């Protein structure tokens, strides 16, 4: 098959270029190493585990024993009666709704303030010290998620945590020894806050770049037509960077469906009454602590299915509300 390989000269040239080339040692070794090696690594360590997972999820494999029985969809049936797993699914769904929306609204607001919040006449201009704000806000993105979790776990700790101390200092004595992560009412919101804190800066930078990419004339025109800043932000910025928002929503949703690192750092046990337990945590425990490998891979399949469903949903909603139409026009 190697002789078929021809350098791709783009659509206009392919007719000229599409002739067979002699199979020299140079060419053969090139294809073998340049394509064969990376693809082999990818297939062995990424593709094959994914494919195997589908099979394992249909067995009662416990991992280290040699016995493995095909049990069909028993694992899946069991999952739908597993209260703890269902609780984890609900928590993930809650995360996938709240975290991306709050993150995007916050990131968009901050990005808008940075790009068109500046004072000046005539033209809309960026804020002074925009670079400084951008650099600071991006900090959390480069801090390992596990460390973000650990820092905030310490901040939230009753007694020695800085949050309770600050609240007490400003006169809210009720919070003197409040366990933010230990109370089922606040554990989830507090965890969500930490995730959002970790995400906002990255998306803010992304949106700033997108807004800067809009032609200044568009803002100018709106301005002349009498649109204020708020109106410009809502009616011009948001529609014009719609694709970026969609991409951000999908990334954030996938991150929220995971949530493993943050939750593991904040509440390794799943939180009070499993209030912060997420699917990946339950999967991990089921596999590596309980040794129920077949059952846990079924959880993985559910997780993957929910992820796909989520992405599909975002695409559909965006298309139905007119996102696609614009995209086609732009290309």
Chain positions 132 to 191 lying near other proteins, rule: CB under 8 A, are: 132-147, 150-155, 159-162, 164-166, 169
Q: How far is CA 125 from the centre of its chain?
A: 31
Binding mask 47-86 for other proteins (x = CB under 8 A): xxxx-xx--x------x-----------------------
Please select the residue that binds other proteins; options are 99, 190, 261, 314, rule is CB under 8 A.
261
Helix H, strand E, coil C: the string for 265-298 is HHCCCCCHHHCCCCHHHHHHHHHHHCCCHHHHHH
Q: In what helix (H) or strand (E) does residue 146 lie, and over which residues does it extend?
A: helix 145-156
Stretch that binds other proteins, among 7-15, 74-82, 92-100, 183-191 (CB under 8 A): 7-15
Please select the residue that binds other proteins; options are 15, 66, 119, 330, rule is CB under 8 A.
119
Query: 71 or 261, CB closer to other proteins?
Result: 261
Compute the distance between CA of residue 76 and CA of residue 141 in angstroms, rounded to an integer.
Answer: 36
Q: How far is the CB of 283 from other proteins (least distance, A)?
A: 6
Count residues contacting other proteins (CB under 8 A)?
A: 119
Half-sphere exposure of 178 (CA within 13 A, CB side): 18
Q: What angle do CA 192, 256, 315 make, to 5 degrees?
A: 130
Residue 201 CA: distances (Å) to CA of 138, 206, 227, 274, 289: 4, 9, 28, 29, 35
Q: How far is the CB of 135 from other proteins (least distance, A)?
A: 6
Residue 222 interacts with other proteins (CB under 8 A): yes or no: no
Nearest Cα to Cα of residue 112 among 247, 242, 232: 232
The answer to whether the CB of 211 falls within 8 A of the CB of 116 is yes
Q: How far is the CB of 88 from other proteins (least distance, A)?
A: 12
Query: 121 or 173, CB closer to other proteins?
Result: 121
Residue 234 interacts with other proteins (CB under 8 A): yes or no: no
Q: Compute how many other C-beta atoms are within 10 angstroms of the C-beta atom of residue 204.
A: 25
Stretch that binds other proteins, among 76-84, 118-126, 173-181, 182-190 (CB under 8 A): 118-126
Compute the distance between CA of residue 27 and CA of residue 293 in angstroms, rounded to an integer.
Answer: 44
Considering only residues 187-216, where is the footprint of other proteins by CB under 8 A?
Answer: 197, 200-202, 205-206, 209-210, 213
Q: How far is the CB of 160 from other proteins (least distance, A)?
A: 5
Considering only residues 262-291, where is the footprint of other proteins by CB under 8 A?
Answer: 264-265, 268, 279-280, 283-284, 287-288
The answer to whether the CB of 326 falls within 8 A of the CB of 250 is no
Query: 10 or 320, CB closer to other proteins?
Result: 10
Residue 309 interacts with other proteins (CB under 8 A): yes or no: no
Please select the residue that binds other proteins; options are 92, 252, 258, 263, rule is CB under 8 A.
258
Compute the distance between CA of residue 93 and CA of residue 73 in angstroms, rounded to an integer.
Answer: 23
Helix (H, G, I), strand (E, B) or coil at 38: helix
Q: How far is the CB of 320 from other proteins (least distance, A)?
A: 21
Q: How far is the CB of 319 from other proteins (least distance, A)?
A: 18
Q: How far is the CB of 321 from other proteins (least distance, A)?
A: 21
Q: Which residues pair with 59 in a beta bridge?
A: 70
Nearest Cα to Cα of residue 293 among 84, 131, 123, 69: 69
Residue 240 interacts with other proteins (CB under 8 A): yes or no: no
């Amino acid at each position: 098959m190697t002789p078929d390989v021809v350098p791709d000269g783009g659509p206009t040239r392919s007719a000229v270029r599409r002739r067979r080339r002699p199979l020299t040692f140079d060419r053969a070794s090139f294809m073998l190493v340049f394509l064969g090696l990376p693809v082999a690594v990818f297939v062995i360590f990424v593709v094959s585990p994914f494919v195997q997972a589908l099979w394992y999820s249909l067995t009662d494999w416990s991992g280290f024993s040699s016995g493995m029985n095909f049990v069909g969809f028993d694992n899946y049936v069991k999952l739908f009666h597993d209260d703890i797993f269902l609780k984890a699914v609900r928590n993930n769904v809650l995360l996938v709704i709240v975290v991306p929306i709050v993150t995007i609204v916050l990131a968009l607001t901050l990005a808008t303030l940075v790009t068109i919040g500046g004072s000046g006449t005539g033209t809309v201009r960026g804020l002074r010290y925009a670079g400084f704000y951008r650099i600071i806000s991006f900090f959390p993105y480069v801090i390992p998620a596990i460390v973000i979790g650990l820092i905030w776990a310490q901040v939230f700790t009753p007694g020695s945590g800085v949050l309770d101390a600050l609240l007490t200092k400003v006169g809210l004595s009720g919070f003197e020894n409040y366990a933010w992560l230990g109370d089922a009412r606040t554990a989830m919101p507090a965890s969500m806050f930490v995730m959002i804190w970790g995400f906002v800066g990255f998306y803010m930078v992304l949106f700033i770049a997108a807004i800067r990419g809009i032609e200044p004339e568009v803002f100018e025109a709106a301005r002349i037509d009498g649109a204020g800043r708020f109106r410009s932000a809502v009616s011009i910025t948001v529609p014009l960077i719609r694709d970026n928002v969609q991409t951000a929503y999908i990334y954030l949703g996938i991150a929220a469906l995971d949530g493993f690192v943050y939750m593991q750092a904040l509440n390794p046990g799943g939180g009070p009454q499993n209030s912060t337990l997420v699917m990946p945590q339950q999967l991990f425990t089921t596999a590596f602590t309980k040794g129920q490998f077949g059952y846990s891979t079924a959880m993985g399949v559910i997780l993957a299915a929910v992820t796909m469903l989520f992405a599909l949903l975002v695409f559909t909603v965006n298309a139905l509300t007119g996102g696609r139409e614009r995209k086609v026009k732009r290309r």
